[in-house]
Chains A and B, each alone.
Chain A
């Protein structure tokens, strides 16, 4: 009997230990994860253009219809294409764009890239000058401003706004925005060969990063 009792006790203990081990290996911790990716959506919702003509010429530089043709709060875009013809030396063209943050994370303007398309139609490049201004608006009031200028072929590929000390932040979910103003002119005051078409194509790309 004693032996049987001992065996029973041992078995009970063994079973209890097995149950504990089973519980140890099958127990789990449940973590409920809701993964939601952030979006960065930087858009242009305003565009304006003006031309300061040279002297009293009866003609002025022509600014074509941009693409897209309409840019406003209801017609935002992430890219604009402009065409300027009869770019008269001495005339000044000012293009202004309003950049908003339509994403879910704050963004910080760090500068912009300027790049030329190809090399075969850059006759005007050396004669083109650009002055740029980037201004952050918070609550409708201008805060930080970064500006610079130069001859286009002398401007570095990337203009680093942060390096100039300006910090232009556009928080998400606000009406804050950044205004990019491009003022450019050409200084070619000499006659050019009749058959030569002088033109240049360049892209200005504001550079943002998550703040």
Chain B
């Protein structure tokens, strides 16, 4: 009887081992590697009408092989003469260097500062953005007159402002002063530093 009991116990153990083995070793799996498309429109070209405006170098001049996602411009000795017409402008080429068409949503201001060297009404600093997309036949003009609260601009009707892969548009940024400041100040100087980032999204 003892032998029978031992055999039965061994049989149960063996069967249990087989079940446990199957349970712990069998599996079915799916491994997925997902990588998203590079979605970017960067600044690939820049020129300015005066050497009073300088940009911060990011490993070489902006180009299609070295696109800038953001750019820092410093306008030194931004002069204002009452009745004058001193404005400073920078022209950018923005290219879709990514892998899919994108819409150019706008520009956001990452940082900005004004170094006053003499009294000035900062709210009279004016920035005008003029965007031209030759491929989509799109253009937009945005005027910002409140520099202090300026956090960026959104291009209207962005659905038509599609940049295909490799396509580009031109953005002219003009810095000016409104003649609504203190007319008693005939001439003033200040330094403006502003970092602007291009924002884009997948065309939907």
Indicate whether A and B interact: yes
In the complex where A80-B30, A81-B31, A191-B41 touch, is A210 in contact with B19 (Cβ < 8 A)?
Answer: yes
A-side contacts of B40, CB under 8 Å:
191-194
Is the CB–CB distance between B204 and A84 below 8 Å?
A: no
A-side contacts of B29, CB under 8 Å:
78-80, 203-206
Q: How large is the interface on A (under 10, 10 to 19, 20 to 34, 35 or more residues)?
A: 35 or more
User: How long is the Cα–Cα vector from A29 to B26 in the complex, in angstroms?
Assistant: 38
Binds A, one of B45-53, B96-104, B122-130: B96-104
User: How long is the Cα–Cα vector from A194 to B198 in the complex, in angstroms?
Assistant: 12
Partner of A80, one of B3, B31, B38, B102: B31
Q: Tell yes or no: B28 within 8 A of A by CB.
A: yes
Docked complex: A181-211 residues within 8 A CB-CB of B: 182, 184, 186, 188-194, 197-210
Determine how close the nearest CB of chain B comes to the CB of A19; give it in whole angstroms.
21
In the complex where A84-B32, A85-B35, A103-B22 touch, is A42 in contact with B27 (Cβ < 8 A)?
Answer: yes
Can you list, as one digit per residue, whether each of A88-112 has a CB less than 8 Å from chain B (1) or not (0)? 1110000101010001010000000
Q: Tell yes or no: B14 within 8 A of A by CB.
A: yes
Partner of A198, one of B35, B67, B69, B97: B35
Q: Tell yes or no: A57 within 8 A of B by CB.
A: yes
Between B7, B37, B165, the greatest number of chain A beta carbons within 10 A of the residue's beta carbon is seen for: B37
Is the CB–CB distance between A86 and B100 below 8 Å?
A: yes
Between B35, B40, B102, B199, the greatest number of chain A beta carbons within 10 A of the residue's beta carbon is seen for: B35
Q: Tell yes or no: B183 within 8 A of A by CB.
A: no
Partner of A89, one of B19, B36, B97: B36
User: How long is the Cα–Cα vector from A197 to B40 in the complex, in angstroms?
Assistant: 12
Docked complex: A50-72 residues within 8 A CB-CB of B: 54-55, 57-59, 61
Number of A-B contacts (CB under 8 A): 186
Is the CB–CB distance between A35 and B14 below 8 Å?
A: yes
Partner of B100, one of A40, A43, A59: A59
Determine how close the nearest CB of chain B comes to the CB of A197; give it in whole angstroms.
7
User: How long is the Cα–Cα vector from A40 to B27 in the complex, in angstroms?
Assistant: 9
B-side contacts of A198, CB under 8 Å:
35-36
Residue of B nearest to A99 (CB): B28
B-side contacts of A199, CB under 8 Å:
33-36
Is the CB–CB distance between A201 and B30 below 8 Å?
A: no
Q: Tell yes or no: B194 within 8 A of A by CB.
A: no
A-side contacts of B3, CB under 8 Å:
28-29
B-side contacts of A119, CB under 8 Å:
none
Q: Tell yes or no: A39 within 8 A of B by CB.
A: yes
Residue of B nearest to A186 (CB): B36
Can you list, as one digit per residue, whether each of A20-44 has a CB less than 8 Å from chain B (1) or not (0)? 0000000011010101011111111
User: How long is the Cα–Cα vector from A193 to B21 in the complex, in angstroms?
Assistant: 49
Q: Tell yes or no: B195 within 8 A of A by CB.
A: no
Is the CB–CB distance between A38 and B30 below 8 Å?
A: no
In the complex where A86-B100, A89-B202, A90-B204 touch, is A124 in contact with B34 (Cβ < 8 A)?
Answer: yes
Determine how close the nearest CB of chain A comes to the CB of B133; give it in whole angstroms.
17
Is the CB–CB distance between A194 and B36 below 8 Å?
A: no
In the complex where A40-B23, A99-B28 touch, is A88 in contact with B34 (Cβ < 8 A)?
Answer: no
Is the CB–CB distance between B99 and A59 below 8 Å?
A: yes
Partner of A200, one of B22, B27, B34, B100: B34
Q: Tell yes or no: A162 within 8 A of B by CB.
A: no
A-side contacts of B100, CB under 8 Å:
57, 59, 86, 88
Can you list, as one digit per residue, whether each of A151-192 has a CB less than 8 Å from chain B (1) or not (0)? 000000000000000000000000000001010101011111
11 contacts between A and B (CB under 8 A): A35-B15, A59-B100, A84-B35, A186-B36, A191-B102, A199-B34, A199-B35, A200-B35, A201-B33, A206-B27, A206-B29
